[in-house]
Structure 1
Amino acid sequence: MVLKLYAGPNAGRGSAIVALLLAEKQIPFEHILVNLFEKEHKNPRISRDASVWPDSRHCSSDDDGFVLYESRAICRYLGEKYADQGTAFLPAGLKERALVEQAASVEFANFHPAIVKVVRDVFGKQGSGQPPDPAILAEFSAKLEVYEVILGKHKFLAGDEFTLADLFHFSYAPMLEYAAVDIMTSSGPNVKRWWNDLISRPAWVKLKAEGMKGTIS
């Protein structure tokens, strides 16, 4: 049975990192379109236990009856299941894996909350002519200063290979481009180099241009 991915039409937020992992690993899947604005993600057709799924969820997966609804959990699961296929998001070595989880924890606990504030502030002011809140931008910039140091030591966040720790940043960071907030590429040279490497990945360029598409074969 082919993997089912329940998500909106575009690769954004949680669905972005899952869609990109599927593309990088060339995993066949069926895309089942979900209208989030109509709260279709709470519909029992999506899950036998839809009532307990949080409203903020933007995608879920069904792998032959095994259902997951947190994007990072989906990525970890698929990264393990298809470890020998496509991009190796999770290294086999114990220490190397620990470094990935360390960097992923930094993304979740520090980078993610800060960038969510920026995105919500910027998009909440669209059309008003008001600039982004300087205090919110300063908080996010402080996180990037730490990244600048980390990325001065190796190419990616957990070493010299692209891993889940880097992938998770596609959840919100690409949204800054649509809001004309150039903070990712106007930061330090290491952050700029790293971010340009990420958004230039062929799988992301294609996903951004074509949107989410199932690849049942």
Structure 2
Amino acid sequence: MALKLYGAPMSTGTTRVMIALHEKDLDFELVPVDLFAGEQKEPPFLSKNPFGLIPALEDGDLTLFESRAITAYVAEKHNETGTDLIRHRDLKESALVKVWKEVESQQYDPAISPIVYQHVVAPIRGQSPDQAIIDANVEKLGKVLDIYEARLSESKYLSGDFYSLADLHHLPFTYYFMKTPYASLINERPHVKAWWEDISSRPAFKKVAEGMTFGDL
């Protein structure tokens, strides 16, 4: 039975999972959820994720939500297929993947996501971007990226000289961010810029990026 992924191709959570599935060379069915019609808040989808947020993954009788948990499941279950995203054969490397996965979710995402929301999503919802929120988070993101610059001066990828979930998880929000006026935060840091150009050129991501159209981006 093919994996079923419920979500939307412009959603950062959905695309995070799609990239992982492509890295693993797995067949899956994308079942569209119409966010603008509020389908994610209706009973059929709430039975898959009671919080009413996409994506959700069905693998036989198992249903999962939370995109980072889904990518970890996919990487662990199919560890011998496609790209090794968790470095399951090396305890130290695997531990570093976990560390930088946490950095993405706890440090990077909270800084970059409000910028993307204010610049991209708010106008679609008829709201005016809050420049104070953007400015505060540009400052936060800059500090995070200073740490990334130092880290990436020592290794090609965040967890070492290998691509992993720690890098993959950054792709969706950074893709949208790089289309905003604040892309210089990435481009002015040479090691971060080289890392971004590397991970965003991977075939698995390029397949997914084709459907990542959001607003005017």
Decide: shared fold, TM above 0.5: yes
Partner of 1:173, secondary structure, is: helix
Residue number in structure 2 paired with 1:2: 2
Specify every segment of 5 or more residues in structure 1 that has no aligned partner in the other structure, as ranges: 213-217
1:31-46 map, 5 Å = 31-46=30-45
Q: Give the direction of change, closer, same or farther, for the CA distance of 1:211–1:29 in structure 2 (3 Å limit).
A: farther
Residue number in structure 2 paired with 1:197: 198
Higher percent of residues as helix:
2
1:120-135 map, 5 Å = 120-123=117-120, 124=122, 133-135=134-136
Q: Contact 1:184–1:195 at 8 Å: present in 2 too?
A: no
Which 10-residue stretch deviates more, 180-189 or 194-203? 180-189
Inter-partner Cα distance in structure 2 for 1:28 and 1:182: 33
Inter-partner Cα distance in structure 1 for 2:70 and 2:129: 38
Q: CA deviation at 1:120?
A: 2.3
Aligned length: 208
Inter-partner Cα distance in structure 2 for 1:146 and 1:112: 14
Q: Which amino acid is 2:142 matched to?
A: S
Provide Cα deviations, 1:182-216, integer angstroms capped at 9, x if missing partner: 1353231110000110111122122212569xxxx
Inter-partner Cα distance in structure 1 for 2:128 and 2:38: 28
1:65 to 61, 67, 80: 61
Q: Contact 1:5–1:31 at 8 Å: present in 2 too?
A: yes
Which 10-residue stretch deviates more, 157-166 or 36-45? 36-45
Q: CA deviation at 1:77?
A: 0.3
Which 10-residue stretch deviates more, 96-105 or 121-130? 121-130
Inter-partner Cα distance in structure 2 for 1:68 and 1:137: 33
Higher relative contact order (CA 8 A, sep 6+): 1
Inter-partner Cα distance in structure 1 for 2:38 and 2:180: 25
Residue number in structure 1 paired with 2:81: 85
Which 10-residue stretch deviates more, 100-109 or 177-186? 177-186
4+ runs deviating over 4 angstroms: 125-132
Q: Give the direction of change, closer, same or farther, for the CA distance of 1:53–1:160 in structure 2 (3 Å limit).
A: same
Partner of 1:165, secondary structure, is: helix
Specify every segment of 5 or more residues in structure 2 that has no aligned partner in the other structure, as ranges: none
Inter-partner Cα distance in structure 1 for 2:129 and 2:21: 38
Q: CA deviation at 1:176?
A: 1.2
Q: CA deviation at 1:160?
A: 0.7
Inter-partner Cα distance in structure 2 for 1:82 and 1:209: 25
Inter-partner Cα distance in structure 1 for 2:10 and 2:154: 31
1:25-174 map, 5 Å = 25-46=24-45, 49-50=47-48, 53-55=50-52, 57-92=53-88, 93-123=90-120, 124=122, 133-174=134-175
Q: CA deviation at 1:121?
A: 2.8
